[in-house]
Amino acid sequence: MIIAPKTRGFICTTAHPDGCAANVQEQIDYVKSQPPLANPPKKVLVIGASTGYGLASRIVPAFGGGASTIGVFFEKPGTERKTASAGYYNSVAFEKAAAAEGLYAKSFNGDAFSEEMKATVLDTIREDLGQVDCIVYSLASPRRTDPTDGETYKSVLKPIGAPYSQKNLNTDTGEVGDVSIEPCTEEEIAHTVKVMGGEDWILWIDALSEAGLLADGFTTVAYSYIGPELTFPIYTNGTIGKAKEHLEQTAAQMNEKYGDTTAYVSVNKALVTQASSAIPVVPLYISLLYRVMKEANLHEGCIEQIERLFSDHLSSDSGPSLDEKGRIRIDDWEMRDDIQAAVAEAWEKVTTDNLSEISDYSGYKNEFLKLFGFGLQGVDYEAETDPERPLPSEQ
Ligand code: NAI
């Protein structure tokens, strides 16, 4: 079939296998252009490994440190008539590239929250790797079925206590308007924490520990975001912020249990991913931020961010540098005073009419399409393309 993008709001329902492979290869090439990691982990489990920050977290230790990797994700395989989801094609491409370099890579497509998935992954670690020494937890999910009570919880992106109104970008039409979001209920806070907090993270670590599959001195990291004051009501002080607070409490709990250099929360930069495009207000902020950071020569994507996370923190000789709350901050360049001041000034001015002039809206749209394998150099988008690309490790 000829595969073209079909976008609806913040979703693209098609993906291009060769474009996704080119996108993965670009990230691998970037990692290989950097010095090898000083003290890389050797056996890495990445939960949420198929797109965005998790995919980058699989590529960096593999291609920057020769690590064996196991990836867990929730994606759709392709059929004769329907393309796979982008994360599926990304993982096929990752496995092929890893195999070409003699690197171990296995992937598991299914629900990371389930006991079945944990058991399958634990069995594979036991049989193939013996132990793991680094676990990256990079899930972004709208729902979670808790295996202990069978109940399905949904996460929401809402402010707490008062309505929130702010400028917003309609990414379908390119119009800058206003959005107003009503505050959440107490139950919605609890449910968002259930899905996006640290409960499942520690379930994974405890299960690995009980099975004797954690190497001495293992580390684990999960990702958070803080961002500017203008998004505080919908992010940091909103329902998702409560879940991120819980993630930090969970890291502290794990450090008490497993030793104080075990669990880290890394605060990352706002970037175009499938998860972030769904958050109100954030796409407009990202469009303005990209413009300012590109002009300052400070722009990074997921792969540059995660390469820095490993080289400057997790795998550096001196270990991670932490802020006053014990977090790794690779959002440091985004949060620089000069960057934030320039974004705040542009935020005040931005309208539909000047959007293209003062923001990097075209960069935003290109990055969004690239997530699904569209717009990459060297890919023939007019060619007949087979959408069925099985994962090598599933065959
Ligand atoms: P993403 O949407 O690109 O990736 C989410 C990953 O989770 C995918 O691999 C997906 O397959 C997997 N997944 C979702 N539900 C699953 C399930 N039930 N079982 C197994 N796998 C499942 O998201 P992104 O943006 O990379 O987010 C990852 C983490 O980084 C999140 O915690 C997010 O809050 C955080 N973060 C994101 C930022 C951004 O701007 N994108 C900024 C800072 C932190």
Distance 150 CA to ligand 1 centre (A): 23
pLDDT at 355 over 90: yes
Asked which of 5-19, 97-111, 130-144, 338-352 is least confident by mean pLDDT, the reply is: 5-19
Mutate which of 12, 76, 137, 273 for ligand 1 pocket (most atoms within 8 A of beta carbon)? 273
Q: How far is the CA of 275 from the centre of ligand 1 (A)?
A: 6
Q: Which ligand 1 atom is the nearest neighbour of the CA of 73?
A: 21
CA angle 361, 365, 366 (to 5 degrees): 115
Asked if residues 80 and 92 have their Cβ atoms less than 8 Å apart, the reply is: no
**Ligand 1 mutation pick, 59, 70, 72, 73, max ligand atoms within 8 A of CB:** 73
Residue 235 annotated to the active site: yes
Residue 357 has pLDDT above 90, yes or no: yes
**Of 27, 51, 309, 334, best ligand 1 pocket probe by most atoms within 8 Å of the beta carbon:** 51
What's the chain's average pLDDT?
97
For residue 210, pLDDT beyond 90: yes
Q: What is the pLDDT of residue 295?
A: 98
Report the percent of the chain where pLDDT is more than 90. Answer: 96
pLDDT number for residue 9: 78
**Which residue CA neighbors atom 3 of ligand 1 most closely?**
52
User: Contact at 8 Å (CB) between 194 and 145?
Assistant: no
Check residue 172 and give its pLDDT.
Answer: 85
CA 49 / ligand 1 centre spacing (Å) = 8
Ligand 1 atom showing the smallest separation from residue 302 Cα: 26
Contact criterion met (CB below 8 Å) for 69 and 105: yes
Q: Which atom of ligand 1 is nearest to the CA of 276?
A: 41
Answer yes or no: is pLDDT of 184 > 90. yes
Please give the model's pTM, rounded to 2 decimal places.
0.98
Report whether pLDDT(236) > 90. Answer: yes
pLDDT, mean of residues 361-382: 96
Band (125; pLDDT cuts 50, 70, 90):
very high
Residue 304's SS3 state is helix
Q: How far apart are CA 333 and CA 46, in angstroms?
A: 25
Pocket of ligand 1 (CB under 6 A): 48-54, 72-75, 87, 111-113, 138-141, 223-225, 268, 270-271, 273-276
91 versus 172: the higher-pLDDT residue is 91
pLDDT digits (tens, 9 = 90+) for 242-260: 999 999 999 999 999 999 9
Which residue among 30, 88, 223, 235 is the active-site one? 235
Instruction: Provide Rg for the chain, Cα atoms.
Output: 20
Whole-angstrom distance, CA of residue 167 vs CA of residue 351: 9
Q: Which atom of ligand 1 is nearest to the CA of 224?
A: 44
Report the nearest-CA residue for atom 31 of ligand 1.
Answer: 140
| Cα–Cα nearest to 42, from 14, 64, 21 | 64
Give the Å distance between the CA of 17 and the centre of ligand 1.
Answer: 20
Residue 100 CA, chain-centre distance (Å), reads 25
Do residues 384 and 18 lie in contact, with contact meaning Cβ atoms separated by under 8 Å? no
Q: Which domains does the chain have, with CATH numbers?
A: 7-161+185-275+301-331+371-394 (3.40.50.720)
Q: For 358-386, what is the mean pLDDT?
A: 97
Write down the residue that tokens 């690197």 correspond to: 103
Taking 90 as the threshold, does the pLDDT of residue 59 lie above it?
Answer: yes
Find the mean pLDDT for residues 175-198.
97
CA 96 to chain centre: 21
CA separation for the pair 311, 114 (Å, rounded)? 32
What's the CA-to-centroid distance between 107 and ligand 1, angstroms? Answer: 16
C-beta pairs of 374-379 under 8 Å, 24+ apart in sequence: 374/4, 374/5, 374/12, 374/16, 374/19, 375/19, 376/19, 376/22, 376/23, 376/26, 377/22, 378/22, 379/16, 379/18, 379/19, 379/22
Length of the chain equals 395
Average pLDDT over residues 127-153: 97
Tokens of 144: 């979670």
CB atoms within 10 A of CB 269: 25
What spacing in Å lies between the alpha carbon of 157 and ligand 1's midpoint? 14
**By the 8 A CB rule, do 387 and 393 touch?**
no
Q: 30: how many CB neighbours lie within 10 A of its CB?
A: 18
Atom of ligand 1 nearest to the CA of 139: 7
- List pLDDT tens digits, range 274-311: 888 888 899 999 999 999 999 999 999 999 999 999 99
The conformation of residue 125, written as its DSSP 8-state character, comes to I
Task: Give 78-106 pLDDT, tens digit per residue.
Answer: 999 999 999 999 999 999 999 999 999 99
For residue 268, which atom of ligand 1 is closest to its CA? 43
| Cβ(389)–Cβ(17) below 8 Å | yes
CA of 301 to the centre of ligand 1 (A): 15
CB atoms within 10 A of CB 280: 20
Selection from 20, 19, 70 nearest residue 48 by Cα? 70
d(CA 351, CA 149): 48
Residue nearest to atom 38 of ligand 1 (CA): 270
Q: Exposed, middle or buried by CB within 10 Å (0-12, 13-18, 19+), for 103?
A: middle
